[in-house]
Amino acid sequence: MKKLVLGAALVSMFGFAGVAFAAYSFFGDASVVAGGNPGNAAEIVSDATGAAFGGVLIPLAAPVAWADFDTLSLDYNITDDNCGGGSPRAQVRIDTTGDGVSDGSVRIALGPSPNFTGCAAGWQSTGNLIGNEDAGRYDYSVFGGSPFTTYSNAPAVVTAGQVVGVTVLVDGSWSAAATGGDSEQTTLVDNINVNGEIETFDPPPGPETKDDCKDGGWEGFGFENQGQCVASVVSQSENH
């Protein structure tokens, strides 16, 4: 299902890939574009002369214990210019107080360890970041842990906490390594796997019958009203 809300650099959409997360939202300079792996992707930009950061937030429908959060991966393509300055990165939002609200994020660097610069061109897969023991990939400093360590060195406050969401963030416009000197870093991301549910940023299939448009169903297909949804079904049937 898809829902678009325009505001101050915020776009909210219903996730298309399952029920583990209910919705994703964009912040800063981020949008859905063609050229994904395959289909659509999220394009996230950090520009020193504009929005200094951008990202996509995927909240979980219900908190998951750190020990039960076993999958996080994504595909990424840095189109301008490189990785560096800790960007791009994934962030796992942790609730440490049991109120369902994030108290901070575990930061996970993307790119080749241990420097996280010199990313390969084109689409790359992170593989499963959960359990990853690459030197320096994990940053637990928000929770009093090491800023340059591995998954297994999570501090007790994290291991006792719950995961409430995931963010993919680009904010490297300040870094010459990331921008090549032009103060802009642009990254495409796709196929974000959050505990087995995958966000592809692709639109859902259209309605197959008029009943699919009833009871608010038209909203999930991106139509402005039920009549527009029904007209789409009629048009499809006439063309087949």
What CATH number is attached to the domain comprising 185?
Answer: 2.60.120
Domain-located, residue 1: no
Domain-located, residue 107: yes
In sequence order, the β-bridge partners of residue 31 are 43
Rounded mean pLDDT, 155-162? 99
Domain-located, residue 4: no
Residues 133 and 113 in one domain: yes
Rounded mean pLDDT, 199-224? 87
Domain-located, residue 212: yes
Residue 16: the pLDDT is 40
Contact 27, 13 (CB under 8 A): no
Residues 186 and 76 in one domain: yes
114-153 pLDDT tens trace:
999 999 999 999 999 999 999 999 999 999 999 999 999 9
Q: Is the dihedral of CA 223, 189, 167, 71 positive or negative?
A: positive
Q: What is the DSSP letter of 179?
A: H
Mean pLDDT of the chain: 90
Q: Please give the residue that has the higher pLDDT: either 87 or 235.
A: 87
| Residue ranges making up the domain that contains 222 | 205-240
Residues 177 and 235 in one domain: no
Contact 37, 123 (CB under 8 A): yes
Confidence of residue 223 (pLDDT cuts 50, 70, 90): confident
Residues 194 and 235 in one domain: no
Give the range among 143-157, 166-180, 202-216 with minimum mean pLDDT: 202-216
Residue 12: the pLDDT is 41
Contact 192, 56 (CB under 8 A): yes
In sequence order, the β-bridge partners of residue 144 are none
Q: What is the CA radius of gyration of the chain?
A: 19
Confidence of residue 42 (pLDDT cuts 50, 70, 90): very high
Residues 198 and 214 in one domain: no
Distance between alpha carbon 42 and the CA centroid of its chain, in Å?
8
Residues 105 and 143 in one domain: yes
Residues 155 and 240 in one domain: no
Virtual CA dihedral for 66, 94, 21, 86, nearest 10 degrees? -100
pLDDT at residue 177 tops 50: yes
8-38 pLDDT tens trace:
333 344 444 333 555 789 999 999 999 999 9
Residues 155 and 210 in one domain: no
Residue 11: the pLDDT is 39
Which residues lie closer than 8 Å to 91 by C-beta, 6 or more apart? Answer: 105, 106, 107, 108, 166, 167, 168, 169
Counts of helices then strands in the chain (DSSP H, E): 4, 12
Residues 118 and 210 in one domain: no
Residues 178 and 212 in one domain: no
User: For residues 148 and 199, what is the distance between their CA atoms, to the nearest angstrom?
Assistant: 28
Domain count for the chain: 2
Residues 72 and 139 in one domain: yes
Domain-located, residue 53: yes
Q: What is the DSSP letter of 119?
A: P
Task: Count CB neighbours of 202 within 10 A.
Answer: 17
Residue appearing with tokens 């608010």: 216
Residues 87 and 50 in one domain: yes
Residue 2: the pLDDT is 29
Residue 177 φ/ψ, nearest 5 degrees: -65, -35
Residue 218: the pLDDT is 86
Contact 134, 151 (CB under 8 A): no
Which residues lie closer than 8 Å to 185 by C-beta, 6 or more apart? Answer: 45, 46, 47, 78, 80, 81, 82, 84, 87, 88, 170, 171, 172, 173, 175, 178, 179
Domain-located, residue 2: no
Domain-located, residue 56: yes
Domain-located, residue 211: yes
